[in-house]
Amino acid sequence: MSADTDTRTTTVYRVTGMTCGHCEGAVTSELSALPGVESVKAVAATGEVTVVSAAPLAEADVRAAVDEAGYEYAGRI
């Protein structure tokens, strides 16, 4: 078997309310705590949050993490 099999999932979400680097950090921190998340890149200027995970994340979990960070989850892009 090859160890090169890549089963990671990349998903882009829309998050409203982020205005600065602190906002990006809060969203990144909460989403990074979800099981299976490998990386998170939040961009306040566009409201886009790109998440790379070992498997697709449950939308309810993403919504809860964004809510915990103090912002509004507006769906997948």
Which alpha helices (H) appear in 3-74, and where do they start and end?
Answer: 21-32, 59-69
Question: Phi/psi at 56 (nearest 5 deg)?
Answer: -55, 140
Q: How many CA atoms lie within 13 A of 12 on its CB side?
A: 5
Q: Angle at CA 26, nearest 5°, toward 20 and 27?
A: 95
Q: What is the pLDDT of residue 7?
A: 84
pLDDT-based confidence at 65, cuts 50/70/90?
very high
Q: What is the pLDDT of residue 1?
A: 43
Q: What's the CA gap between 42 and 51, in Å, rounded?
A: 9
Strand partners, 13: 49, 76
Residue 31 has pLDDT above 70, yes or no: yes
